[in-house]
Amino acid sequence: MKYEIKKGGMIFHAAHRLDEHGGACCNVHGHSYQVEVRLGSDTLDYMDMVIDFGEVKGTIEKWLDDNIDHCFIYDINDKISCELVEVLHKHKLKTFRMDTKPTAERMSELFMEIFSSLLKETGVIVTQVVVWETNKARSIYNYES
């Protein structure tokens, strides 16, 4: 890509648990996640931009707010989490389903797929998604051409 921009500071708060984890992460716990995305293009739009940062906010940040902020992220293969989800749904509380363990690594991979789909019509390529689980720990997923 000739041109690349980075949008960071997209924050969501969520809980999860890691089934089969040998430590404390097997318990339900939460994080203030931070998402950073890199977007690339070989050309610029009519405003000489890869994409307007406002459009990124209105698309990606809105998706995070609507779909995953303040929810319980769970693995459909985790029996305990699925039992908890039944209770949460009974009370109309927010959950987010994953087909894998809800690790930062898998979230960054899933977000790459979702964000790419959201921005498909723009012609912009999502080149990297970073998910910060804490201010010291992050996962990076890169686009493979």
Catalytic annotation, residues: 25, 70, 133
Tokens of 143: 């686009």
Return d(Cα 137, Cα 121) in angstroms, integer.
32
Return d(Cα 23, Cα 78) in angstroms, integer.
16
- For 97-106, the CB contacts below 8 A with 24+ separation are 98/73, 98/74, 99/75, 100/75, 101/18, 101/19, 101/75, 102/16, 102/17, 102/18, 102/73, 102/74, 102/75, 103/18, 103/139, 104/33, 104/131, 104/132, 104/133, 104/137, 104/138, 104/139, 105/139, 105/141
How long is the chain? 145
